[in-house]
């Protein structure tokens, strides 16, 4: 079989629309060659090619349907939200349009319609997508209150400029509350309201949020989150959760804590707490099983040993 002409350079590393290819100089015959597949009407992509970024597949699907944007589960993934979204299927692209336009209907697409304010559709990596706060609300129908709180904590978290290319949180509590006020009656909004009440600024990860919630559900006092704590002259630590009155600190040790260099740092950290008269409670993934019953027991024991008792 005759070898097809190379595609224009910008079309080789991502899916593209038929019209984009024609505008770039590709012939209709080239676009019908079997080296290209048709994932959806008006879209082409190189056969047997996998793309590292989901956005490269989603982008042309939003372009071939006017006034549309990636949303729901697709936006959840593209924003790299933490947590778990039940029923998510990466092979399906979720696209939303304003409710005065027809529902998007095409192969590989789950269409949605809704009311959108101007700031609820944004551009991200060259792709139109629902904003982070709107995506949080759109996904609330499918998610548990706990998982919605995980995402809310992620949005509210104040970044660490030394490690991140931003200095402001993705959203404020007022931003999330305004989103709820704009869309009264949206399915899942009651769960979103509860999760906003439960959300706190300070959790650095989804496991930290889940641990915090389970401790509070068990009737333990609310902890401070990643607050700088002076332990001695020149020694300041930021425990994941802290109970200053009882001098109890709680750390969630994820997989990174199994690395040799991190183990050395963890030992030094624990020694700093001990020298300052604090108890350090270390929690791992196994302690989070069965509604974090083992984690709750460890923290409760530490608090009661320091004089705390339930009211």
Label the pairing between strands 224-225 and 241-243.
antiparallel
Whole-prediction pTM: 0.87
- Identify the pLDDT of residue 115: 95
Neighbours of 15 (CB within 10 A): 23
Q: Pick the closest to residue 242 from 232, 252, 234, 233 (CA basis).
A: 252
Per-residue confidence (pLDDT) for residue 50, from 0 to 100: 59
d(CA 182, CA 275): 51
pLDDT, tens digit (0-9, with 9 covering 90-100), for 234-277 = 899 999 999 999 999 999 998 665 666 677 788 888 999 999 99
Identify whether the C-beta of residue 78 lies closer than 8 Å to the C-beta of residue 54. yes
**Rounded mean pLDDT, 75-79:** 95
Mean pLDDT of 295-311: 96
Task: Please give the Cα distance from 36 to 43 (Å, whole number).
Answer: 10
User: How is residue 41 written in tokens?
Assistant: 């009407």
pLDDT in tens, 12-71: 777 887 777 777 888 888 888 888 887 778 888 877 665 556 677 888 888 888 899 999
């Amino acid at each position: 079989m005759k070898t097809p002409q190379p595609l224009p350079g910008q079309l080789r590393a991502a899916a593209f629309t038929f019209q984009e290819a024609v505008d770039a100089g590709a012939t209709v015959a080239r676009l019908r060659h079997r080296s290209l597949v048709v994932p959806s009407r008006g879209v082409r992509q190189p056969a047997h090619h996998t793309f590292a970024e989901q956005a490269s597949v989603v982008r042309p699907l939003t372009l071939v349907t006017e006034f549309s944007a990636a949303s729901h589960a697709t936006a959840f993934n593209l924003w790299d939200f933490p947590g778990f979204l039940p029923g998510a299927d990466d092979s399906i692209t979720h696209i939303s349009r304003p409710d005065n336009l027809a529902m998007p209907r095409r192969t590989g697409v789950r269409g949605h319609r809704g009311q959108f304010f101007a700031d609820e559709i944004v551009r991200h990596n060259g792709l139109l997508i629902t904003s982070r706060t709107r995506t949080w609300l759109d996904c609330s129908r499918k998610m548990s209150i706990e998982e919605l709180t995980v995402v809310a904590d992620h949005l509210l978290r104040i970044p660490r400029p030394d490690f991140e290319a931003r200095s402001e949180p993705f959203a404020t509590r007022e931003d999330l509350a305004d989103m709820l006020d704009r869309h009264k009656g949206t399915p899942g909004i009651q769960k979103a309201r509860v999760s906003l009440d439960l959300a706190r600024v300070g959790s650095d990860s989804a496991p930290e949020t889940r641990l915090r919630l389970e401790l509070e559900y068990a009737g333990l006092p609310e902890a401070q989150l990643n607050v700088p704590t002076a332990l001695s002259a020149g020694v300041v630590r930021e425990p994941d959760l802290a109970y200053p009155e009882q001098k109890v600190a709680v750390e969630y040790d994820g997989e990174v804590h199994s690395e040799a260099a991190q183990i050395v740092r963890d030992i030094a950290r624990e020694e700093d707490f001990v020298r300052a008269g604090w108890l350090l409670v270390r929690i791992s993934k196994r302690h989070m099983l069965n509604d974090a019953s083992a984690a709750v027991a460890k923290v409760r024991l530490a608090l009661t040993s320091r004089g705390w008792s339930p009211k």
